[in-house]
């Protein structure tokens, strides 16, 4: 449940306060707002998603165009020390309690292990997870664990070479599978797997993917495809909804809501048991859980606890924000930790109430897709 602060709620929209050298600056939050990353609707962000790079070695159709994107220059991207400082401010001054490293593909950063070690050195108890496509993870899993990474999420949409290559536009399935196993062996568990289902491509495979994950003790989570592809090919009509995912899985499995509290988690979790083909009833023990992240059709904006920092140090309060506020520029201009924390709080104060993706059921008439694609934001 979100906390109600009893603060005046200004009209939404038009959040940008002013510009400094052409860069958007958020309006100042009202005086007296509490410490921490609160917004005007009473939500507090404690879960930080930090993008380490916009670069990637795959070209997933729902994320990147085949030809890739124009990468940021090295200078434009946060350095190791800048990342470590920003995390320190988030944790020590603003109450961040969980960190997820993402991208682009975090494994393509040569200083990844040093970044994690530096953050871990400052925050011995902070849960640090990472979302990765798994390419090259087999070689790095042990070092990541030793540096202080807590856990890993690997994206895996198909177990069939051809389908994998069609979806990611790269023939790297074997490398990803090796990475998943290496992460588990290195102690980076529980290993979570992320899958996006695309109609007519990998949707029919979903029960087999779940059976495979359960058999190995990995927690699979299906993510509804969101309109964050660089090609702007998403349509509400063509995406596979959470309801369809549950239907697809019910061919082989019975899903019962996990009784554990969801606690702000994006995934709704279900306990999974085999379906008896003769009777249709559940049979045997609980095999594990599956998560469904229904950002489009069953959004969880009212309980959102996320704050995002892009690879070039911009604060995004929501994946679908059309406004982003520069933290890195301020940092490089010599700002103090207090000034940086205050800018971050201002940026979060104007977080939109909801993303508004699912209005019409067909086209989401007043929803405007952000300019950035998922890889450039940090999913
Ligand atoms: N490259 C890493 C990876 O793929 O895991 C990390 C970054 S990626 C942007 C993070 C997650 O976003 C992945 O699990 C990916 O499947 C998901 N993703 C990318 N584009 C998406 C979209 N349009 N809709 C839903 N999920 C998406
Ligand atoms: Fe790369 Fe991840 Fe986007 Fe796929 S989803 S193109 S692996 S950033």
Q: From the CB of residue 20, how many other CB atoms can be counted at a distance below 10 Å?
A: 11
Q: Are strands 151-155 and 128-132 parallel, antiparallel or unpaired?
A: parallel
Q: What angle do CA 133, 139, 141 make, to 5 degrees?
A: 70
> Which ligand places an atom closest to the C-alpha of 132?
1
Q: By alpha-carbon position, which residue is closest to atom 4 of ligand 2?
A: 60
pLDDT tens digits, 329-347: 999 999 999 999 999 999 9
CA of 63 to the centre of ligand 2 (A): 6
What mean pLDDT comes out for the span 55-63? 96
pLDDT of 4 > 50? The answer is: no
CA of 226 to the centre of ligand 1 (A): 10
Q: What is residue 15's predicted lDDT score, i.e. its pLDDT?
A: 53
Nearest atom in ligand 1 to 295's CA: 25
What mean pLDDT comes out for the span 269-279? 96
Residue 371 and residue 327: Cα distance in Å, rounded?
A: 19
Nearest to 305 by CA among 288, 314, 317: 317
pLDDT of 17 > 70? The answer is: no
pLDDT band for 291, please (50, 70, 90 cuts). Answer: very high
Q: What is residue 134's predicted lDDT score, i.e. its pLDDT?
A: 98
Counting ligand 2 atoms within 8 A of each CB, the residue from 62, 105, 228 with the most, and so the one to mutate, is 105
> Which ligand places an atom closest to the C-alpha of 130?
1
pTM: 0.92
Out of 23-32, 264-273, 338-347, least confident range: 23-32
Average pLDDT of the chain, as a whole number: 90
Q: From the CB of residue 162, how many other CB atoms can be counted at a distance below 10 Å?
A: 10
Nearest atom in ligand 2 to 196's CA: 5
pLDDT tens digits, 93-148: 999 999 999 999 999 999 999 999 999 999 999 999 999 999 999 999 999 999 99
Which residues does ligand 2 sit against, CB inside 6 Å?
Answer: 56, 58-60, 63-64, 103-105, 133, 155, 374-375
Which residues does ligand 1 sit against, CB inside 6 Å?
Answer: 56, 62-63, 102-103, 105, 131-133, 155, 194, 196, 223, 225-226, 228-229, 374-375, 379
Task: Give the position of tokens 């699979």.
Answer: 220
The sheet with strand 151-155 has its strands ordered as 253-257, 268-275, 282-293, 219-223, 192-196, 151-155, 128-132, 98-102, 47-51, 306-309, 314-316, 325-326
Nearest atom in ligand 1 to 154's CA: 5
* Domain 39-248+306-377 annotated CATH 3.90.550.10: no
Counting ligand 1 atoms within 8 A of each CB, the residue from 63, 136, 158, 230 with the most, and so the one to mutate, is 63
Q: What is residue 264's predicted lDDT score, i.e. its pLDDT?
A: 80
Nearest atom in ligand 1 to 194's CA: 14
């Amino acid at each position: 449940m979100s906390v109600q602060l009893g603060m005046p709620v200004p009209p939404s929209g038009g959040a940008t306060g002013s510009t400094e050298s052409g860069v958007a600056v958020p309006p100042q939050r009202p005086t007296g707002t509490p410490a921490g990353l609160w917004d005007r609707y009473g939500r507090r962000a404690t879960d930080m998603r930090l993008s380490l790079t916009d670069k990637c070695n795959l070209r997933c159709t729902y994320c990147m165009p085949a030809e890739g994107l124009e990468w940021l220059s090295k200078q434009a991207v946060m350095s190791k020390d800048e990342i470590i400082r920003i995390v320190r401010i988030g944790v020590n001054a603003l109450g961040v309690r969980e960190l997820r490293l993402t991208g682009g593909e975090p494994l393509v950063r040569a200083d990844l292990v040093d970044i994690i070690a530096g953050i871990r050195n400052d925050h011995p108890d902070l849960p640090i997870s990472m979302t990765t496509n798994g390419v090259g993870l087999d070689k790095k899993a042990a070092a990541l664990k030793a540096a202080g990474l807590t856990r890993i999420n690997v994206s895996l949409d198909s177990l069939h070479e051809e389908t994998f290559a069609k979806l990611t536009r790269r023939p790297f399935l074997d490398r990803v599978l090796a990475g998943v196993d290496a992460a588990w062996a290195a102690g980076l568990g529980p290993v979570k797997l992320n899958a996006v289902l695309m109609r007519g491509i990998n949707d029919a495979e979903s029960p087999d993917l779940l059976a495979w994950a359960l058999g190995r003790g990995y927690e699979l989570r299906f993510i509804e495809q969101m309109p964050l592809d660089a090609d702007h090919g998403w349509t509400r009509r063509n995406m596979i909804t959470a309801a369809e995912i549950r239907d697809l899985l019910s061919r082989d499995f019975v899903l019962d809501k996990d009784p554990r509290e969801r606690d702000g988690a994006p995934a709704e979790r279900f306990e999974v048991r085999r379906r008896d083909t003769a009777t249709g009833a559940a049979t045997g023990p609980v095999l594990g859980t599956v998560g469904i992240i229904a950002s489009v059709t069953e959004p969880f904006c009212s309980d959102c606890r996320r704050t995002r920092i892009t690879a070039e140090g911009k604060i995004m309060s929501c994946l679908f924000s059309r406004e982003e506020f520069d933290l890195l520029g301020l940092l490089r201009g010599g700002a103090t930790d207090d000034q940086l924390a205050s800018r971050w709080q201002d940026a979060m104060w104007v977080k939109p109430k909801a993303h508004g993706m699912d209005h019409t059921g067909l086209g989401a008439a007043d929803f405007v897709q952000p300019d950035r694609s998922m890889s450039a934001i940090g999913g």
